[in-house]
Every structure is written in structure tokens, then in C-alpha cells.
Chains A and B, each alone.
Chain A
């Protein structure tokens, strides 16, 4: 909506102008690094421009405003989250070179490692030349090995296994929570309801790294129904226990959600009306109740998909599966910082993007959301 600038818009303009302006000032003050300084200014200006593009598109009504706002904040959040990862690796106490080589290493070795990790440059140059250039050229840096590989290759090798696990976990959660939650709401205050509440409480409290070994003990060791971790000839059967382990906590949360959401809708006036005009219960449930009751459930599902990605780290360790989690833990043990940084960056970016997509989906299925934002 064009018109006079609001205070918020002016403020947003000011905030967006700050990074490029300060980067330019820095480049002028440090002529030696001017080239990279200007590079940084250009990148920051690009980011600010992108954020503004979305904001402006929404402002002039070319994009739905809720979508424009979400895309603007996605740009800001992605840059912020990446900077957080960069900062954590650089500003954490202790010298990473000590951690890699030990404190007794020769000075020339230390210098070599420092150069390879780009730690011999000023922080801002590291941020621009090493961090952003590696992110933008898509390599996410080179692994810190005898034969360096682009980090992105390692991630690509391990990514499918983690996504497969997360999707399987989500499926398990849905298959358990939908029937259980719906049954609990329809049979409110009966044994089904109590069972669902007990499951919800236990599922949230039981850690995946305990549930996993216990399931293995029961179904693989005790009953010999399912393959042991590492066996590869029955991939689907081997996925079952990890999926249950990863999905249980989410199943618990969703069961609670489905139940309370359904109970709320069941008490609404339009449901009473539908009953009064003699619609069959099945039609009321499928056409009127579930359609409305499941809207908040979709949101929680989306937000929790990100949590499944981080939960996969633990599950992969329990079941000795390959994947991003195993890659990350191995990289941490070997102090392979570029791999750690790249993996964390990717998981964080996925997490943020999935959350955005959830928000947008929510707005599409529930038009009320669009009105109040």
C-alpha cells in the first residue's frame, strides 16, 4: 500500500542501509583489504536489496503481504543464522589450531593449518572471503584432510539418508498421532483418552537415545524380528526402528495437539448446527470437524520437521546409520571445522526454510491468517 512512509519503514530503510554503509567505511579505512571490503559491501547490499525487494513487492501489493513479510524475514534470518555459525566457530574460546594439531605442534605446521582454515586473516576478511565466498560458490569450503574435497560433496553423500529417516519419522508420528488423537477426542474421558494422555506424557519424556537401544534390545536381540544396525540387505526393515525412535516424541506432541484441537472444534456452534440438521456423524467429522481441527496440526508438523532433522543426529548415532548427524559428529571428533560449519549451516538453513514453508501453507489453508498479518 503506497502512501506516507511509516516510522517502521523509515527504520527498516535505516537498518538496511547500515551494513553496506559501514562496510564501505571499513573498506576506505583499510585500503589493503579494500577489494574484499567492497566485495563484502556488495554482498551486504545484495542481501539488503533482496530483503527490500520482497518487502517492496508486498508493499505495492504485487505479492501477498504475508508472503512478502515472510520472505523478507527469511532473508534476514538466513543471513543472521549463517553469521551466528560463522561467529560461533571464530569467537569460541580456544584456538582451533591447538585443537587440531595439539599444543606442541611446530610453528610452520601451525601456520599452514592457520592459512588453510583462513584464520590468518582479519575477522571481516574471513567473513567475506572465506565464509561468504564459499557459501555463495556452493562448495561450503574444502574438507580439512590430506586430499581436500568440497564440503558440499560430503553433505550430498549423506543427505539422502537423513531425509529418508526424517520422512519415515514423520510418517510414524502421523500414523500414531492421528488415529490416537481423533479417538481420544471422540471418546473423551474414556480409557482411550487416558491412554492417549499417558502416551503423550511418556513420549515427550522418554529420550530417543534411550528408546532406541531398548527397541533394539526387544525387537532385534530378543525377538530377532528386525535386522541389526549395519545390516544392509533389508533396508526398509532396518529403517523401522530408527523411524519409531525418531518419531515417538513428535507422535506424542501431535497426539496432544490433535486431541485438544478436535475437542475445541467439536464444541463449536457450527458442529452443533450440523448435528441438529441431521447430518450423519461421519460427514460431520470428515467434512466439518477434521478440516478445521487439523489446521494447527499442520503448523506443528512443519515446525517439528526441522526438529526431526536435529533429532536425526542422535538417532543416527544410536543405530550407527550414516547421515548428516554421523557426518557432523565425526567431523567434530576429527576437528574438521569446514565440515562442521557446512553441515550445521545446511541443517539450520533447511530448518528455517521449512518453517517458512509451513507458515505459507498455514496461510493458504487458513485465510484468516492472511488477514491479521
Chain B
């Protein structure tokens, strides 16, 4: 493992650590208002300063890691599971089922996903984290389905699959037991990059005022902070750093996984 992999891994562990441990390591409750300390600069009991209500920015960012992690993991999990299921059925059975599913996937992949997410969230009165995950997954699974289908097509006539079929194994067993484990490596690589993209997308939605309601999301913190950035630039600076560093770390990890599992892949 090279230095970049270690940096990536450390970053991801840090992100997940903050997300899990937020209630214990955050110095203040994230929503605790202190009108005597509005827009305080970093220092003096508030490492990263306070926002316009005097709430501690570090605590909000730590809790924001939860939203980022849940949306990131939730979205890729949902997309990967649905995409793998659809892609393997499509690739294994072929024929009319395959044709029909592929046309649906064409449409979904041609549609700008973030736009559909904006549309769906805009229609939801007070979007929850789950709603955001669903909105990001509506088009997100299509890429996984196409990837898995391609892999399955090249696997389904391989001797171990033919042998399983000859022994009378049912189709679902062959798919679950023999095919899916063999396509997991590229799916995990894609899921890693997908998680970074989902975190960016959630932050973007929150920045536009379309994020999950009632939780401190990094994008929403940045949106709030940008309004005060002439007097308190730290309010926009740190949430943005949190987003950028998380995405960077996850992408580095993705690069490392791809290099490890697919030596032909180039940077």
C-alpha cells in the first residue's frame, strides 16, 4: 500500500469515526444556542468558532458527518443492491427481459440524476435523510446494473457456470452463489466512487436548500455560513473543508481498490 492509500483509508476511518462517535466527542449539543457568543471566531472554547446563533461549529460538523455517512453509505448500498439484482437477472437471462431492462436503464442513465433528485426533493415538504437517499438512488442504480450485466455476460458461459447448470442448479442459485461473488470487485470499486459522489450530491442539495430537514448537513452549514462570509469566513471554510477532505479520502481509497483489483486499469 502506498502513501495515498493510507491517507485515503485514514480519511475514511476518520469520517466514519466522527459519524459514529459524534454524540460522545462533540463538545456541545449541535443545536445549543448561545446568543452571547454569536459568530465567535475559532478559539476560546470553540475550536472552529460559532455560527450566527452562537452554536458550536465543530459540533455541527461532527454531527454533519453522520448525515454525510448515512446518505453516502445508504445511497451506494441501495444502488448497488438494486443494480446488482437487475444487472444479473438481465445479463443471465438475456432476451426480451434484458432488452426491456436495458432500455429503461438507457433512459435513467441519460437523465441528469441530480436534476431528478432536485425535482423529487422539491416536491417533498420536509425531506428526511431517507428521502434524500431515495432521490439520489432513483437514477443511481442504473450504472451498477449496466456494469454487472456486462460482467455477467462474460461469465455466464464460463466452465464453472456451465458445470453448475449441468448439475441442475437453479438459476437463482447460480446467480447468487456463483456469479454475484465474481462481480463484487468492480461493484465495490464503483460503490466507493459512488459514495464520494453521493456525499457531494447531498451537500449540493442541502446547499440549494433541498437537503434533509432538521439535521446539520455540511451543505446546509456552508449555505448558512456563506451568508456571513464577509464577517466570519470560518463558517463557510470549515464545512467546505469537511466535504472536500471526505470526498478526497474516499476517492483515494477508490483509486487504491481499483489498482489492487484491476491491474490493467489506468489512472
B204 within 8 A of A: yes
B171 within 8 A of A: no
Contact present for B236 and A313 (CB under 8 Å): no
B115 within 8 A of A: yes
A residues near B124, Cβ cutoff 8 Å: 92-94
Determine which of A84, A213, A333 lies in contact with B236 in the assembled complex, contact meaning CB atoms within 8 Å. A213
Determine which of B114, B125, B204, B229 lies in contact with A99 in the assembled complex, contact meaning CB atoms within 8 Å. B125
Contact present for B106 and A88 (CB under 8 Å): no
With A89-B123, A207-B243, A210-B243 in contact, is A318–B226 under 8 Å at CB? yes
Partner-binding segment picked from A33-41, A234-242, A347-355: A347-355
Determine which of A15, A81, A259, A307 lies in contact with B100 in the assembled complex, contact meaning CB atoms within 8 Å. A15
Which residues in chain A, 182-227, are within 8 Å of chain B measured between CB atoms?
197, 201-202, 204-207, 209-210, 213-214, 216-217, 221
Partner-binding segment picked from B54-62, B151-159, B244-252: B244-252
Partner-binding segment picked from A21-29, A72-80, A134-142, A165-173: A72-80
Contact present for A352 and B110 (CB under 8 Å): yes
B123 CB to closest chain A CB (Å) equals: 4
Contact present for B99 and A256 (CB under 8 Å): no
User: Looking at B107, B125, B237, which has the most chain A CB atoms within 10 Å of its CB?
Assistant: B107
- Give the residue name and chain of the A residue nearest to B237 (CB): A214
A370 within 8 A of B: no
Contact present for B115 and A348 (CB under 8 Å): yes
Contact present for A217 and B244 (CB under 8 Å): no
Contact present for B229 and A217 (CB under 8 Å): yes
Contact present for A84 and B107 (CB under 8 Å): yes
A126 within 8 A of B: no
Contact present for B203 and A204 (CB under 8 Å): no
User: Looking at B112, B118, B241, which has the most chain A CB atoms within 10 Å of its CB?
Assistant: B112
Contact present for B230 and A11 (CB under 8 Å): no
A residues near B119, Cβ cutoff 8 Å: 85, 88-89, 340, 344
A373 within 8 A of B: no
A287 within 8 A of B: no
Contact present for B210 and A81 (CB under 8 Å): no
Contact present for A347 and B106 (CB under 8 Å): no
- How many angstroms from the CA of A351 to the CA of B110 in the assembled complex? 8
B70 within 8 A of A: no
A282 within 8 A of B: no
Which residues in chain B, 182-212, are within 8 Å of chain A measured between CB atoms?
196, 200, 203-204, 207-210
Interface string of B98-125 (1 = CB under 8 A from A): 0110011011001110111011101111
Determine which of B118, B196, B204, B239 lies in contact with A328 in the assembled complex, contact meaning CB atoms within 8 Å. B118
B residues near A84, Cβ cutoff 8 Å: 107, 111, 116
B residues near A93, Cβ cutoff 8 Å: 123-124
A8 within 8 A of B: yes
Contact present for B223 and A209 (CB under 8 Å): yes
**Tally of chain B residues near chain A (CB < 8 A):** 50
A residues near B143, Cβ cutoff 8 Å: none
Main secondary structure of the interface of A (DSSP, over half): helix
B240 within 8 A of A: yes
B residues near A99, Cβ cutoff 8 Å: 123, 125
With A317-B207, A348-B111 in contact, is A88–B123 under 8 Å at CB? yes
A residues near B107, Cβ cutoff 8 Å: 76-77, 80-81, 84
A79 CB to closest chain B CB (Å) equals: 9
Contact present for B120 and A207 (CB under 8 Å): no
With A77-B110, A314-B208, A317-B207 in contact, is A205–B236 under 8 Å at CB? no
- Give the residue name and chain of the A residue nearest to B267 (CB): A260
B residues near A120, Cβ cutoff 8 Å: none
A96 within 8 A of B: yes
- How many angstroms from the CA of A352 to the CA of B108 in the assembled complex? 11
Which residues in chain B, 221-244, are within 8 Å of chain A measured between CB atoms?
222-223, 226, 229-230, 233, 236-237, 239-241, 243-244
A residues near B208, Cβ cutoff 8 Å: 313-314, 317, 329
A302 within 8 A of B: no
B96 within 8 A of A: yes
Interface string of A1-31 (1 = CB under 8 A from B): 0000001100100010000000000000000
A residues near B241, Cβ cutoff 8 Å: 210
Contact present for A213 and B123 (CB under 8 Å): no
Interface residues, chain B, with chain A CB atoms under 8 Å away: 95-96, 99-100, 103-104, 106-107, 110-112, 114-116, 118-120, 122-125, 196, 200, 203-204, 207-210, 219, 222-223, 226, 229-230, 233, 236-237, 239-241, 243-245, 247-248, 251-252, 266-267
20 CB-based A-B contacts, threshold 8 Å:
A73-B106, A94-B124, A96-B123, A202-B244, A204-B251, A209-B204, A210-B222, A210-B244, A213-B226, A221-B230, A263-B266, A310-B112, A310-B115, A314-B204, A314-B207, A314-B208, A318-B226, A332-B118, A332-B210, A355-B110
User: Would you list the 4 A-B pairs with minimal beta carbon distance, nearest first?
Assistant: A210-B240, A80-B107, A92-B123, A205-B248
11 additional contacts (CB under 8 A) given A213-B229, A264-B266: A15-B100, A76-B106, A77-B110, A81-B107, A201-B252, A205-B196, A207-B203, A214-B237, A313-B118, A317-B207, A333-B209
